[in-house]
Amino acid sequence: MPAPSSSRSRDPDRLLDEAVAAFYSGQVEHAHLVQHLAVVHQLNPVDLRALKFLAAIDEDRTPKDLGRYLEMGTGAVTALLDRLVKRGLLERVRNPDDRRSVRIQLTPDGFAVIGSLRAAYRRALQEALPAEHIDVFIEFTERLSHALRDAVAD
């Protein structure tokens, strides 16, 4: 990773353009990592995105939640869930509050796939992020996540 340049232009527009370029470069490498891990686990990238979504927070999700996140229709979500259930990576569980609906949750094998992704992220962060900047990175990432969520809502 190149060292930050002290000779960078202090023009705010130029700096923002450089930040966008750096962010885009990171996204490209992240997409490559996700593609690689999907292949390693014999999944497609959308399947891995679904598993990441289900593992992101500790609460039950519905197929409708997943479809909204992936911007997929009911039929495509059903096919995706069928694939992941067949692979033993997630399971459909009856919703105790509404017998007409189901919740979807990762199985231990699904959590193992997510564990390999998290391990790759940990290795990358340990290599790229000085320990004294972890708090700044966490705050920045949380703020960026909110800003990106807001951009989708616009």
- pLDDT per residue as tens digits for the range 34-45: 999 999 999 999
Percentage of residues in the chain having pLDDT higher than 70: 94
Task: For 33-61, give one letter per residue: b (16+ CB within 10 A) or e.
Answer: ebeebbeebebeeebbbbbeebbeeeeeb
Predicted pLDDT at 92: 93
Q: What is the pLDDT of residue 2?
A: 53
Checking if the pLDDT of 97 tops 90, the result is no
Question: In this structure, how many other beta carbons lie within 10 angstroms of the beta carbon of residue 90?
Answer: 25
**pLDDT of 16 strictly over 70:** yes
Instruction: Please answer whether residues 89 and 51 qualify as being in contact, where contact means their C-beta atoms are separated by less than 8 angstroms.
Output: yes
Confidence check: pLDDT of 23 > 70: yes
Could you tell me the pTM of the whole model? 0.80
